[in-house]
Structure 1
Amino acid sequence: MILAVNLNASIDKAYTVENFKPGTVTRVKEVIPTAGGKGLNVARVLNALNQTVSVTGFIGGFSGAFIEQQLKEQKMPFEFIHVKGETRSCINIIDLSSNIHTELLEPGPYISEEELDEFLEFYTSSVKQYDVITLSGSAPRGIDTDIYAKLISIAKNANKKVILDTSGEYLAKGIQSSPTLVKPNKSEAELLLGRKLNNTGDLASAAKELVDMGPEIVAISLGAEGVMVASSLTKETYWAVPPKIRPVNTVGCGDAMVAGFAAGLSNNWSLTECIKYAVAVSAAAALSPVTGGIVLKEVNNIIGNMDFHNLYLL
């Protein structure tokens, strides 16, 4: 069983327009609202992979009610802490003329000390019934950047496996609490280490350096180039590359990779099995126009055609 934590949920609204120009009145051709947030994306993929998963975090106002209704329709188990503030909306303006996407991301509601304490009490009790906890994305206002470090420690004290997928200070502080696995992308790893990663050797060295900071496994996601993984358990570094595909939608592919790793860890697969599966799930996600729209047949096909390298660091 897997618990997907999404502290800063949102309604993701895709606005389709023609010839978008800042400072002018623009009529929207189509609006597509969906329940969003990295943790929700992870949960959707896990659901599609037939894994038992539940979602938690903060929800508030009319936007929060919309998200809960969507999850009910998708038969997705959830148990949110309800707050006084309004759950955020995030806008993606899609210009059909230029194919340029412009994103406007709200910060999220302000979380009071009492609301945070309620969540921490709920989380501490809930993690006991799960095998794997995924922690994804940002946090709303009012919550310190050490929140993931706290959540990791709570889960580890309950002997649970924890996956962290975040950035900035959340990642810098969270990684020090020794999560089971962290999944930065290349730019997040560069920011954390303070240098550019220009080639395969740089990425392999970076993954091992990040392992030395505390996590058991580091997986640096590389888009079409797959993932670079280092492990403190095997003392080896792996690079898995998916076969060439024609992506339809790359939104949420990193979240799909987290879901793949979570499924593998929950089923106690070997590290190499987890890596292959996570890469295949991420690639399969790119083949679907719907975020999280995984087709299991595609996952198996991709695994069978994957290029897998085992790199040994001296």
Structure 2
Amino acid sequence: MVLTVTLNPLLENRIEFENINWGKVCRGIKQEYKAGGKGLNVSRQLDYLSIKNVALIFLGGNNGKMLRKILIDENVDFASIPSKCETRAATIAIEKTQKRITSLFEPSSELTENEINEFKTKLIKMIQNCGIVVFSGSVPNKKAASIITYGIELAKELDKISILDTYGNHLQDCINAGPSVLHNNVDELEKSLQINLSSEIKKVKFLKELYEKGIKLAFITNGAKPTYASKFDFVYKIQSPKIDEIDSTGSGDAFIAGITYGLEKSLVFDQFVKVASALGSVNAARWDVCNAKLEDIENIVDSIKVTPIGKKVKLINDSPTHS
């Protein structure tokens, strides 16, 4: 069982246009509401991979009610903690001709200390009943970031795998908590940690530093450019084939779902990083977010190259596992 944690879920109002003339009146050709937020994207993708999972989220106000209905309609298994503040929303403007998306986000909710404590209490029970817990996405306010560090430490106490995919000023504290697995893109790491990852040497050095903090698996993605990964103190460069990119939104979440899939299925490293990379690529070639099936990636997986950097190790099943 996998638990995904989304502290800042999103109600998406997705409107499609042939073209948008900014500053003018524009009329859409299609509109629909969708559930957003990185952890919910991971849950959706895991559902398409037939991996049993449950999402833990905050829901509040009318937006929260709408988001709840969408999740039920999508058959996403979830539990929620009520918040007094409205669940955040965003307008997603899709320009079909230019293959371009513009996202307009509302301000995040301000969670109270009582709501945060209630979430932590719920988290204790849910982590006990899962093998892997995924902390994904932004935090609505500074206090809410304590949920992630608390959850990582709790997962370690309970001998569970924790996967971290967040960004912002709280990222360093989350890294220091020592998750089992870390994923970020280059831009998130550079802005959140005030570091420079412009070269391969700098990326490799950073991955080595993560291992010294007890992070067993780490992944640095960078769009269509190569992904750099570490498994214990071994480092790899992962190159995916070129694709006709439409929208990369959620590709990192699809990647995380692939890593989670591999750990849940006890696949070897070389196998599940290819699955993860293929899922990210397929997602970027679609308008929809995190809805790829395994058969959708069959033609891509074998063309993904995993190259060791530095010392090499035999590909055996020594990835983090759970009972």
Tell me the TM-score normalized by structure 2: 0.88
CA distance in 1, matches of 2:139, 2:229: 26
Question: What is residue 137 of structure 1 aligned with on the other side?
Answer: 137
Q: CA deviation at 1:179?
A: 0.2
Give the corresponding residue for 2:292.
294
1:273 counterpart = 2:274: no
Please state if 1:179 is matched with 2:146. no
Deviations 1:235-262 (CA, angstroms, capped at 9, x unpaired): 2101111122223332100000010111
Gaps of 5+ in 2: 313-323
Q: Secondary structure at the match of 2:169?
A: helix
Task: Note the C-alpha offset of 1:28.
Answer: 4.4
1:248 corresponds to which of 246, 249, 253 = 246
| Distance of aligned partners of 1:11 and 1:268 in 2 relative to their CA distance in 1, 3 Å threshold | same
Please tell me whether the aligned partners of residues 110 and 142 of structure 1 are also in contact (alpha carbons under 8 angstroms): no
Please give the alpha-carbon distance, in whole angstroms, between the structure 2 residues aligned to 1:195 and 1:252.
24
Q: Which residue of 1 aligns with 2:52?
A: 52
Cα-to-partner distance string for 1:39-69 (whole Å, 9 max, x where unaligned): 1110111100110111111011221122221
The 1:312/1:129 distance shift into structure 2, 3 A limit, reads same
CA RMSD of aligned residues (A): 2.2
Equivalence for 2:281: 283
Equivalent pair of 1:175/1:214 in contact (CA under 8 Å): no
The alpha-carbon deviation at position 266 of structure 1 amounts to: 1.7
C-alpha distance after superposition, 1:163-198 (max 9, x if no partner):
110112231110001001110101122235534323
- What is the aligned length? 311
Instruction: Choose 71-80 or 240-249, whichever is displaced more.
Output: 240-249
Rounded Cα–Cα distance in structure 2 between residues aligned with 1:191 and 1:88: 23
- Cα deviation per residue 1:276-304 (whole Å; 9 max; x = unaligned)? 22112212222333111203113232221
Match of 2:319 in 1: none
Contact 2:15 2:30 in 1 (8 A): yes
Aligned equivalents of 2:21, 2:97: Cα separation in 1: 8
In the TM superposition, residue 217 of structure 1 has moved relative to its aligned partner by 1.7
Does residue 202 of structure 2 align to residue 205 of structure 1?
A: no
1:51 partner letter: I
User: One-letter code of the match for 2:282?
Assistant: A
Separation in 2, partners of 1:92, 1:288? 15
Code of the aligned partner of 1:310: P
**Structure-1 residue corresponding to 2:13:** 13
Secondary structure class of the residue paired with 1:45:
helix
Q: Distance in 2 between matches of 1:226 and 1:112?
A: 41
Matches within 5 A, 1:143-158: 143-158=143-158
- Residue 78 of structure 1 corresponds to 78
Letter in 2 for 1:73: D
Separation in 2 of the partners of 1:274 and 1:205? Answer: 23
Give the match for residue 121 of structure 1: 121
Shift in alpha-carbon separation, 1:300–1:102, aligned structure 2, 3 A: closer
Q: TM-score, normalised by structure 1?
A: 0.90
CA 1:74–1:16: 2 relative to 1, 3 Å: closer
Separation (CA, whole Å) in 2 of partners of 1:33 and 1:90: 10
Give the equivalent residue in structure 2 for 1:170: 170
Conserved 8 A contact 1:165-1:171: no
Tell me the distance in 2 between the aligned counterparts of 1:141 and 1:28: 33
Give unpaired runs (5+ residues) of structure 1.
none
**Which amino acid is the alignment partner of residue 207 of structure 1?**
L
How many Å separate the matches in 1 of 2:300 and 2:100? Answer: 29
Assess if the C-alpha contact under 8 Å between 1:176 and 1:215 holds in 2: no
Distance 1:50 1:98 in 2: 34
SS in 2 for 1:308: strand
